[in-house]
Amino acid sequence: MKETESVAAPVHCFRQSRIPPTNDFKVGMKLEAHDPRNVTSICIATVIGITGARLRLRLDGSDNKNDFWRLVDSSDIQPVGTCEKKGGMLQPPLGFQMNASSWPMFLLRTLNGAEMAPAAFFKKEPPKPAPNCFKVGMKLEAIDRKNPYLICPATIGDVKGDEVFVTFDGWRGAFDYWCRCDSRDIFPVGWCSLTGDALQPPGNNVSITKSSAKIQSSPSKVTRRSMQSPQKSAPVPTQRGRKPGRGKPPGQSAV
């Protein structure tokens, strides 16, 4: 950041707590979670792993190919019993591996003798930040949505209304995405060092030129990058590479 004279997005732009929540969960604990593939249903999930302020979760009755990650202060998770208390019914996950009729018995068995995560482990979701205050060029740490266990160095590539375009430093654009400015998938610079999560190194396609990092006064079309741009096969410089003062065209990116 120093070398490129880049500017970190201010912490108040993010929907994250200033001091990351403590992660008291243990592997094996059970909780309730919204099914990411069917968000209206609430399922039983097991903590499969712990990474910084996040939990690696697997829905009971699901396979091991659909694990997902949630912050301990995510509103998507809650203590076992919450759903019933609110008059709801726990649902089998999408892709429940058994016959649907065996769900009630499966539910009893999966909860019997299980270690439930205590209510105190669940932290309150931070409030939504004020209007979108991100600017093009600002640095952040962001979840790679194609590899959601990874948190990576990123730059705001564009801003439009309540949305920001997250571009991954050193990659060709294949991982970039638009998200709401209050997304829980984006973090201020320094987040990983505070939570102990591993911040990924940038990809190979980095240009360390000062001009590449200056905040631009107004977001323009030039800064917008294609979301389709393939990682490997781009023979011509990307829009990013073509911009004046951005250094030489990017080389072959690592995959």
Binding site for ligand MLY (CB under 6 A): 144, 147, 150, 152, 168, 171, 175, 200, 255
Nearer to ligand MLY, 141 or 144 (CB): 144
Nearer to ligand MLY, 14 or 168 (CB): 168
- Let me know the angle formed at the C-alpha of 213 by 165 and 224, rounded to the nearest 5 degrees: 30
**Two structure tokens written together for 154:** 């990123």
- Spatial strand order of the sheet with 68-71 comes to 68-71, 54-59, 38-51, 30-35, 77-78
Write down the least CB distance from residue 157 to ligand MLY, Å: 13
Write down the least CB distance from residue 67 to ligand MLY, Å: 16
Nearer to ligand MLY, 53 or 154 (CB): 154
Question: Residue 7: how many CB atoms within 10 A of its CB?
Answer: 16
Q: Are 93 and 126 in contact (CB under 8 A)?
A: no
Nearest C-alpha neighbor of 129 from the set 199, 51, 217, 188: 188
Write down the least CB distance from residue 29 to ligand MLY, Å: 29
Strands 38-51 and 30-35: antiparallel
Write down the least CB distance from residue 144 to ligand MLY, Å: 4
Nearer to ligand MLY, 27 or 255 (CB): 255
Q: Are 41 and 34 in contact (CB under 8 A)?
A: yes
Nearer to ligand MLY, 123 or 172 (CB): 172
Helices (H), the chain: 82-85, 103-111, 191-195, 239-242
